[in-house]
A = this chain, B = another copy of it.
Amino acid sequence: MKRTLGTCYYPEHWDEEIWTEDARRMAELGLTWVRIGEFAWSRLEPSPGDLQLDWLDRAIDVLNDAGLSVVLGTPTATPPRWMLDKHPDMIALDADGKPRGFGSRRHYCFSHAGFRAESQRITRIIAERFGHKVAAWQTDNEYGCHDTVISYSDAARLAFQDWLQARYGTVDALNTAWGNVFWSMDYDRFDQIGLPNLTVTEPNPAHAQAFRRFSSDQVVAFNREQVDEIRAHSTAPISHNYMGRVTDFDHFAVGKDLEIATWDSYPLGFLEDRVGASPEHQRAFARQGDPDFQAFHHDLYRAVGRGRWWVMEQQPGPVNWAPHNPAPLPGMVRLWTWEALAHGAEAVCYFRWRQAPFAQEQLHSGLLRPDSAEAPAMLEARQVASEIQNAPDVSIPRADVGLIFDYDADWAWSVQPHGAELSYFGLVLDHYRALRRAGLNVDILSPDTQDFSGYKIVLAPGLMHLTDELRAALAQTEAHVVYGPRTGARDADFKMPVPLPPAIAGLDVTVARLESLRPDSPIPLAGGGAVQGYLEEFETTATPMFTREDGQPIVVTDGNRTYNGGWLDDIGMDRLVAQLCETANITTRTLPNGIRIRRTETEEFWFNHCAEAVKTEIGTLAPASVTRRII
């Protein structure tokens, strides 16, 4: 595979006269890809049925003529204002019942049939017209950004009732599955079932989880409708650009309908608004971004795209939307780009070509300033473009360690966190960080994985509902599997199973009791480290691997099956990884804070995410630097 670069461009924002010059400069910079069109609906169809596609045709021609390949987005993330005249009820409602109206973007409910038809129609029109001349497609833009998966509209309520009827058949079956007897919550008819908002106290978690699954399914269906339209007219591969830490829908399920997964990587914005790190960490990495958060997403989308993935939007300078928007350290744009490529990205596209001097993102940097002068990122992009020219083809090896990531588990933890600070995403990220501190490549794995062969270790933390298929697949693998905490804690309908969880074949452990902990009250482990936030007590005959200071087991093991009943802190997690890797004959390192490694088949990359030079075994690494070594 050859590595490529690209950018995101909005011809509709600029005078047509400068398109050619822009295209020339892109090509000269060494870019391959230009993504366009995803917000242009009001210019493609200024009034209902009045299609104005010629300008887009000309823009594609200009880009193609300059040797650039075009990724064309369907414009459904920004329905025009007239659409609201036709479908006033197409908007989502928030959990308080407030409308989420026109005036920015993503103002639609995934369950609204009228808008779904409009989405198919405009996709069909565009696919017909441009299907032969674009190199790739993007559906919509950043599904779920701005909390737009979950809608409490009437359209959503009616669709949810249908979804429940399809799943449960009878309302009695639903009542039984959900345990609605508990507080006389029994329903007589499906049409009585509301959405799980605006209840006096918390709704039945079975109700809430069902709604989360329904909401995700609506995104998948919406996306598939666009895919079907495109496929009818184009053979170019189809992608969607996922957004960082948006977990409200199942990316694996959407990804199954697509050829390529892409994601939008804004390291500095993310560290400020969604990583969830401590203020000290946020301060130390304010101009570099979190050392693991992007890598985690790279590995995630490599899995979602079944190997084919891109960064569709790469932060090139300060953004406009975080609580604080500093500039990256010099070198970081290059580092971020190479990091994505090292994890196997086919392409990295900078967002955006030229900073827009108007509207919501006027303080979002581009490769060019609003006055068309080069912004600092241009220099680094140019350097990477030159470096990849000279780099060999790349091939991504299977990692020794697989880490399962399950969107359903994320919803389950969010429906029932048990402790105020607990989240599934956080738990998995903590595992991922520990693996990275040990210098390991990691593969993120879908919970649909059936064949784990090739992995020495598979980590499966926090899978609150373990499907029969995954349970069986994990039972059969020869890899060392680490389960828990909360493995199999709920059945398919959010009931606690009896016999009690986790009920793992070949590992005698039962969760007799569980508790959540105050953040100021971790439980020390014998030998170092601690459990924080969440803790289980066992009945077990398995071998203790880690115990509390009072001898109670926290992590137990039997053969190549391990169950971990606690949320370990960093020291505990490092000890766990070290011990597992030693058993599995995997070589580990102890990397300094902010130093990370990634290996392809032929290269070893050392990334220094720190603002200072750091001494390592391969020498002193400059701040914000990438070191590529052929291996």
Contact = CB atoms under 8 A, between A and B. Distances in A.
Given A105-B201, A203-B104, A183 B325 contact: no
Interface string A186-215: 111000101010111111111100000000
A358 B494 CA distance: 7
Interface in A410-443: 416, 418-420
B81 A192 contact: yes
A188 to B, nearest CB: 6
A452 interface: no
A356 interface: yes
A200 B104 contact: yes
Given A104-B203, A363-B514, A371-B498, A326 B521 contact: yes
Contacts of A497: 357
A101 B514 contact: no
A486 to B, nearest CB: 11
A309 B388 CA distance: 69
Given A102-B194, A107-B199, A199-B100, A185 B516 contact: no
Contacts of A85: 192
A82 B516 CA distance: 37
A260 to B, nearest CB: 24
Given A182-B39, A359-B180, A499 B371 contact: yes
Residue among A196, A201, A283 with max Cβ neighbours from chain B (10 Å): A201
Given A318-B515, A516-B324, A516-B326, A181 B13 contact: yes
A276 interface: no
Contacts of A192: 81-82, 84-85
Contacts of A40: 181, 184
Given A105-B183, A199-B100, A514-B318, A204 B359 contact: yes
B361 A182 contact: yes
Given A97-B98, A100-B198, A204-B359, A323 B184 contact: no
A183 B104 contact: yes
Contacts of A499: 371
A513 B514 CA distance: 52
A92 B182 CA distance: 21
Given A104-B183, A184-B75, A500-B369, A419 B325 contact: yes
A402 to B, nearest CB: 30
A495 interface: yes
A274 to B, nearest CB: 14
A279 to B, nearest CB: 7
Contact of A81 (B185, B318, B418): B185
Each complex incorporates copies of this chain amounting to: 3
A248 to B, nearest CB: 14
A320 interface: yes
A80 interface: yes
A455 to B, nearest CB: 33
Interface stretch (A42-50, A467-475, A570-578): A42-50
Interface in A168-188: 178-188
Interface string A88-120: 000010001111111111110000000000000
A370 interface: yes
A235 interface: no
A98 B96 contact: yes
A39 B326 CA distance: 49
Contacts of A500: 369-371
B101 A199 contact: yes
A497 B370 CA distance: 9
Contacts of A202: 104, 360
A345 interface: no
A423 to B, nearest CB: 14
25 contacts: A13-B182, A81-B186, A82-B188, A99-B198, A100-B199, A103-B196, A104-B199, A104-B200, A106-B200, A145-B201, A183-B360, A203-B360, A282-B518, A324-B419, A324-B420, A324-B516, A326-B518, A327-B513, A358-B494, A358-B495, A362-B496, A363-B514, A370-B496, A371-B498, A376-B513
Listed from nearest, the 3 A-B pairs whose CB atoms lie closest are A179-B358, A182-B359, A42-B184
Given A146-B200, A370-B496, 18 more contacts: A10-B182, A13-B182, A43-B181, A101-B200, A178-B358, A179-B359, A183-B359, A202-B360, A204-B360, A283-B520, A283-B521, A286-B518, A324-B518, A326-B517, A357-B495, A357-B498, A358-B496, A369-B512
Interface of A: 10, 12-13, 39-43, 46-47, 75, 78-82, 84-85, 92, 96-107, 145-146, 148, 178-188, 192, 194, 196, 198-207, 272, 279, 282-283, 286, 317-318, 320, 323-327, 356-363, 365, 369-371, 373, 375-376, 416, 418-420, 494-500, 512-518, 520-521, 537
